[in-house]
Every structure is written in C-alpha cells, then in structure tokens.
C-alpha cells in the first residue's frame, strides 16, 4: 500500500507527534495504527534481544509487549549493520505494523524510545492506543549529550542515580559525568586506599559531621552496567590537583597545602610519591569505568595553591624543572598525570583551564564552562581541541530558572531559564561555526552546594533536562520553542505520574520553590 506523506515543519508540526527531543525528519501519512490491550514484537537479530527486553520492561505500566518469533508481529526490529550513522534509526508506522531499523543497537534503542514516547503521549482511550501513520529518519546533532551530577557536596545514592539514568535514556542523553571527589567528600571506594572513603567520605557541604557516604566498587559496577544497558557512558571525575581537601583529610602526607580560605586544597605536585598515589587511584577507576574518558578536573587551582610558595618539595621541583611560577607547577602536574591517563588507555577530560597547560589535543577533551571567558573557547577550538560546551549560563542547573527565585545561583543577575537552555548554542560563540566539527556536544552540570535532597534535585533538573536534550539532539532548523512547550506539557504529566519533581514553567508564579532540607 502506498502512502501519501505530508512533511511536518518546526513551525507547523503534526499535532499528534509528541516526542522529546524532536526527531530531525518526520513525515506523517494518512491513517492510524491501532493497538488494543497488547502488542507483539519480533526481533530479527538475536543480538538485539536485550534491547527488546528492556523496552518490554519499560512499557510494563503503559502497554504489555510480548516478545514473539512470529514474523507477522505488530512491531518489527531489524538491525542493519553498516547502513547508517552510529546513533541513527528509522521508524516506520503503517496501518498494520511498526518497523524500527538501525545500523547499531544504540540506534535501535533510540528508535524504541521514540516509539515509547508515542505510546506514552499519544491517543489512549480505554486501553486502545492510536498511533499515526508516519516515517521518522533520525540521528543526533551532537554525539555528546551529557548530564553531570556532583555527589561530593551532597550525596544522593544509587536509586536516585538510576532514576536520573532512566530519565536520560527516555530523552536519548548518552553521557553521565559523575563528579565523585571534591572538598566536602570522597565518594568512590578505592581498595588500595580505604581511608579515602572511611575518612574522606565523612561530611557534606551542609554538615561536616555527617556519616561517611560513598559508593562501593560493587555499587559502581552495578550502576555502570545499568547505564550501559541504556547506552549511557559514565565518565568519572577525580578532581586534581585542586579540590583535594577530602582526600587530604584521609592521606595528609600527599597534601600540598592550601590557602587561608581553602585549606589543604591541593595535592603536592613536588613529591614523587604523590604521582604514584594518584596513578594507583586512577588505575582502580579505569578498571571500574569502561568509558574511554577520565575527567581530571584541573580547575580553580589558584584558589588554594598559596602554600606552594613555601613548600620545600614544590620549590625543589621548580628549581629542578626550571618552572617560572606556580602556573608552571600546575602545568607540570597536569601534563604528568595526563601521561598516566594515556598509559591507562584513556583520554583526558578537563575543565577549560587545561587549555593553558600544553596537553596533546589528540588525547584531551576540553569542557568550556566559563561563559564570561569566551576567549577560552576560541583558544581551545583554534588549537584543535575537541570541546564540550557546558557554560554556566545557561547550562549550570544550580543556577535559578526564574527571576523570582532566590535559592540558587545568579551571575550578575543572569540565570538559566528554560528558553535559554533550549536555544543554546548560538552561532555567535567564538570559533563555533568555523570549528563546528570539534564541538563534541553539550552538557548540563548540576552542582549541589544548594541542592540537598531529592526534591530540590528534581526541581532544578526538570524540565531543563528536556530542553537540553532537544538542544543537543535536534538540528537548529528543526527547533521551535513554542512547539517544544506544547510537547513539554505531556512530559510534565509523565513526571507527575512517576513521582518525579519538576519546576512548572507554565505556572511559575504559583509554584513554590522547594528549599527544605530532608
């Protein structure tokens, strides 16, 4: 049967297509695919069985999905290796059947998430689901579509992390950057150095006397597997040479001191044993996380390196290596640790300060976070670094999202409302258009100094997560903010049903800002 399709556009989308992020090519035909009570799904390729089973589980409270060997099943999954881009998929719905094809399992997974949303947000009357006849051919704008969670300052735990991973999967986000160490607490078990968690894991940003909270290595493996099943790569961050106070409480022999405001803030870059210690830590981290990336932080070292001026180890290093100043010491440290990461078979990721340290662009990824320093982005791109865009404005989700909000951060009055998240990135970013292929993608960062409980975390994350997902997936010419808001309303209802908190941009004046600590 031949179908006549009418192309949709971002200014006049087909009203029945409610998917976030918006697919990049949608063609809607005449008629509907109608399902009653349950659907049968056939998997043509055995290697896709696990993807199909996860979809079946995800659909349990929506519509029963029965896996079958019957080739005339309602839903057909076909893996066609080598036929399309890595994360691309095609979804075809006619009056009798749904077909999803992709070149990879990841692409197939994304096709199933689109279908899942069509069921979740489509017409549903008395257990009868009506899906429009359509064709979707889709692939992401950016390869890196990330969320960072800071659990050093406040710890949220395994079940909350899994809930975030589920939400990321629904939105086709694929990088979970896990900030596990910082001044308030060390949150990852290292077998060779147990005091990192038993001592370094004590306290949090709000309460320095809180009991130790951290993830065991078995917890980490469980969460890494949970994420991988959803095609989410977890990138661990072990902060150095600054933000090291929690580690230094546990093993003070490797401390480089700090400043009056930031005591014991740094590792000691002048002590050879420091490099052995940190490399041993990174070896265990590398074994736990199959990601090809390890994030080293590398930011704000000047906050607490004042003691380096009188530290005899550092002064000896400066003389031996002919380092002109403390910035030179910092560069020496970063390059030396980056070599260790490379030996471990990993690629270094760091905040945009690492551009100043002469790292190999072929083995380094820069996260541009200082929105007030666009020159750092320009330098990183012109020096051939791959870059992830995560500037404070608008992608720091600890910044408030409405001008009436008071509990959270602002930058000279600027904050991070949903519309700025959605419309990012602008073409006017320095070097962005000229070096577009070096921009790996976007990431929202959730710092938790002022996020102390699950309710507050949800409120700050949602629905900006939805806006960021579309900013990272959907090509600029296919985006439309008003259309997005129309599709967001059913998503907010989904959050409500799932018990997931959110800020309601449609009722901003009547929505209280949660600030209470659990």
Let me know if 516 is a catalytic residue.
Answer: no
**Buried/exposed code over 125-147 (b: 16+ C-beta within 10 A; e: otherwise):** eeeebebbbbbbbbbbbbbbbbb
What distance in Å separates the CA atoms of residue 293 and residue 445, rounded to the nearest whole number? Answer: 17
- Strand ranges (DSSP E) for 80-180? 89-93, 98-102, 123-125, 128-138, 144-150, 175-179
Distance between CA 25 and CA 8 in Å, rounded? 8
| Active-site residue identified among 163, 300, 402, 449 | 300
What is the C-alpha end-to-end distance of the chain, expressed in Å? Answer: 59
Pair 176, 168: CB distance under 8 Å: yes
Residue 395 contacts residue 370 (beta carbons within 8 Å)? no
Active-site residue, from 74, 135, 182, 330: 182
DSSP state letters, 370-417: -TT-HHHHHHHHHTT-EEEE--HHHHBTTB-SSTT--SSB-BTTB---
Please return the burial class of 419, using the count of CB atoms within 10 Å of its CB with bins 0-12, 13-18 and 19+. Answer: middle
Sort 214 into a burial class: Cβ within 10 Å, 0-12 / 13-18 / 19+: buried
The active-site residue, picked from 92, 171, 179, 243, is: 243
Give 256's strand partners. Answer: none
CB–CB of 306/259 below 8 Å?
yes
Rounded to an integer, what is the distance from CA 194 to the centroid of its chain? 28
- Name the DSSP letter for residue 96: S
**Are the CB atoms for 193 and 251 separated by under 8 Å?**
yes
With 0-12 / 13-18 / 19 or more C-beta atoms within 10 angstroms meaning exposed / middle / buried, residue 409 is middle
What is the CB-side half-sphere exposure of residue 96 using CA atoms within 13 A?
6
Task: Reply yes or no on whether 243 is catalytic.
Answer: yes
State the Cα–Cα distance between residues 30 and 11, nearest whole angstrom: 20
Give, in order, the Cα–Cα distances in Å from 232 to each of 45, 97, 161, 183, 474.
Answer: 22, 29, 12, 27, 18
CB atoms closer than 10 angstroms to residue 508 = 16
* Tokens standing for residue 396: 């720091």
Residues annotated as part of the active site? 182, 243, 300
């Amino acid at each position: 049967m031949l179908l006549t399709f009418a192309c949709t556009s971002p200014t006049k989308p087909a009203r029945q297509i409610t998917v976030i992020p918006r697919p990049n090519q949608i063609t809607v035909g005449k008629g509907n695919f109608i399902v009653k009570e349950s659907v049968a799904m056939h998997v043509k390729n055995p290697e896709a069985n696990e993807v199909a089973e996860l979809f079946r589980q995800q659909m349990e409270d929506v519509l029963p999905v029965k896996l079958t060997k019957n080739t005339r099943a309602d839903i057909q999954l076909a893996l066609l290796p080598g036929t399309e881009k890595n994360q691309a998929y095609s979804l075809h719905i006619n009056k009798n059947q749904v077909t999803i094809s992709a070149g990879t399992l990841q692409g197939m997974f994304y096709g199933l998430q689109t279908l899942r949303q069509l069921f979740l947000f489509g017409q549903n009357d008395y257990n009868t689901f009506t899906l429009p006849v359509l064709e979707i051919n889709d692939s992401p704008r950016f390869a890196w579509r990330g969320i960072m969670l800071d659990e050093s300052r406040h710890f949220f735990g395994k079940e909350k992390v899994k809930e975030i991973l589920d939400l990321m999967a629904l939105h086709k986000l694929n990088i979970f950057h896990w900030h596990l160490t910082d001044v308030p607490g060390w949150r990852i078990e290292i077998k060779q150095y147990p005091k990192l968690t038993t001592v370094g894991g004590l306290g949090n940003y709000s309460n320095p006397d809180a009991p130790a909270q951290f993830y065991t290595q078995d917890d980490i493996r469980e969460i890494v597997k949970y994420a991988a099943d959803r095609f989410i790569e977890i990138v661990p961050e072990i902060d150095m040479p600054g933000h090291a106070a929690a580690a230094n409480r546990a093993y003070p022999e490797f401390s480089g001191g700090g400043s009056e405001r930031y005591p014991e803030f740094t590792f000691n870059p002048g002590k050879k044993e420091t490099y052995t210690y940190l490399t041993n830590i990174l070896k265990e981290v590398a074994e736990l996380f199959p990601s090809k990336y390890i994030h080293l932080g590398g930011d704000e070292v000047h906050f607490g390196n004042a003691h380096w001026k009188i530290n005899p180890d550092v002064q000896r290093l400066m003389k031996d290596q002919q380092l002109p100043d403390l910035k030179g010491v910092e560069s020496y440290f970063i390059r030396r640790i980056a070599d260790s990461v490379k030996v471990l078979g990993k690629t270094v990721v760091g905040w945009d300060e690492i551009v100043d340290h002469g790292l190999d662009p072929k083995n380094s990824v820069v996260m541009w976070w200082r929105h007030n320093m666009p020159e750092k982005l320009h330098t990183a791109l012109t020096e051939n670094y791959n870059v992830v865009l995560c500037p404070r404005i608008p992608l720091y989700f600890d910044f408030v999202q409405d001008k009436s909000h008071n509990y959270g951060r602002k930058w000279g009055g600027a904050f991070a409302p949903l519309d700025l998240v959605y419309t990012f990135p602008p073409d006017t970013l320095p070097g962005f258009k000229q070096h577009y292929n070096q921009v790996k993608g976007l990431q929202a960062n959730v710092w938790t100094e002022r996020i102390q409980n699950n309710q507050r975390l949800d409120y700050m994350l949602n629905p900006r997560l939805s806006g960021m997902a579309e900013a990272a997936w959907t090509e600029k010419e296919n985006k439309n903010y008003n259309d997005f808001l129309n599709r967001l309303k059913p998503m907010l209802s989904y959050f409500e049903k799932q018990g997931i908190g959110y800020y309601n941009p449609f009722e901003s004046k009547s929505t209280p800002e949660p600030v209470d600590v659990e």
